[in-house]
Every structure is written in structure tokens, then in C-alpha cells.
Copies of this chain bind each other. A is one copy, B any other.
């Protein structure tokens, strides 16, 4: 088998805690929910909560998946317009999220209930950004890293803004459409400045 019993248990407990946290925070707001309440609902001791998560925030915010390797290669060796190829790369990434769509929307709703949580979310995004920067750098060897960092910030900020601003999702939309909205908004903005 691919997973030992121990691993399955561990994943299950982790999921239990995450879901307990998400459901509680969705109704009560992040700040009103104690780690004790989460642990109880998840059926573990408060101490165990901290064996799984570094802090209350990380039970809600999880790291986004990596970019799919084949999409990375396609981008790095791509020959299209930079923004168009970026769009493809990001769609590939977003498609990985399709399955957790419902959870992701809940997480975004919960993020709106707390400044701390928002900050944690942004920290997670920064990690994504650093991977993102590395990838773009591979395509644009000769461009100074600082500029690429700025470019990445611009893109991720825009995606974030679109995802939290957009009126409550109808949930039927393809999640990758966020990427399109964001990049369109970005292109409009660029015209503004030029």
C-alpha cells in the first residue's frame, strides 16, 4: 500500500483539526475561537493541536501547492508574450486547487474576519512568490532579480485583490478564471501608467 496506517491516521487527524478550525471560525470569527474549542471539536487534546500546527493560524492557512513541473518547463522555454505565458503557468497552478475549491472559498471568508489571519496568509503568499521569482528568473536570465521580484509582487497582489474583492463566488465558476480576471486587470492598469 502507498500509505501506512500511521500515515493515514496522521493525515486524518490533521484534516480533522483543520476542518474543525475552519467550521468554527467560519461561524464565530477567528478571534472568538480558542484552540481548546478547536481541539475539542476535532476530538483531540489541546496539546495535540500544537503537535500538528505551529499556531492557531496555521490550522486555517495552508501552503499553496507547488507549480506543476511540466508547466514550469513550458513557461521557462516558452516563446509567447511574457504575460500570456505567465497566464498559462498560473492557470496550471490554480487547476490543482479545483478539488479544494469549497474549502478555499471558506478560508477566504475566514481570512476576512481577522487581521492576524490576513497577515499569515500574506506570509504564505510570500513564500509562493519566492518560488515564482525563481521560475521567472530562469526565463529572463539577464534581468536584475529586483525587477523580477517587483513583477511577481504585482501579479500576486493583483490575484489576491481579485480573489478577495470579487463579490461572493457563485462556486460554479472555474477557479482558474481568477487568473484571467487578475491578469486582465493588471494589463488595464499598465495602460494607465504608460
Check B192–A140 contact: CB distance below 8 A.
yes
Where the two chains meet, the residues of A that have a C-beta atom closer than 8 Å to any C-beta of B are 82-83, 115-116, 118-120, 122-123, 140, 143-144, 146-147, 149-151, 153-154, 157-158, 161-162, 165, 185-186, 188-190, 192-194
B161→A153 contact, CB < 8 A: yes
Q: A157-B150, A161-B146, A165-B146 are known contacts. Are A194 and B193 too (CB-CB below 8 A)? A: no
Which B residue's beta carbon lies closest to that of A81? B193
CB atoms of A190 and B193 under 8 A apart: yes
Copies of this chain, tallied across the complex: 2
A111 shortest CB reach to chain B, Å = 13
B150 and A82 form a contact (CB under 8 A)? no
Chain A to chain B contacts (Cβ below 8 Å), 29 pairs: A82-B193, A83-B193, A116-B119, A118-B123, A119-B122, A122-B122, A140-B192, A143-B192, A146-B161, A146-B162, A146-B165, A147-B185, A147-B188, A147-B189, A147-B192, A150-B154, A150-B186, A151-B189, A151-B192, A151-B193, A153-B154, A153-B157, A153-B161, A154-B154, A154-B157, A154-B189, A190-B190, A190-B194, A194-B194
Instruction: Assess whether A192 is in contact with B154, with CB atoms less than 8 Å apart.
Output: no
**Does the CB pair A185–B119 fall under 8 Å?**
no
Would A82 and B151 count as touching, CB distance under 8 A?
no
**Using Cβ atoms and an 8 Å threshold, which residues of chain B touch A116?**
119
A192 contacts across to B, CB distance below 8 A: 82, 140, 143, 147, 151
Which partner residue on chain B sits nearest A115 by CB separation? Answer: B123
Residues in chain B near residue A162, CB distance under 8 A: 146
Closest residue to A166 on the B side, CB-wise?
A: B146
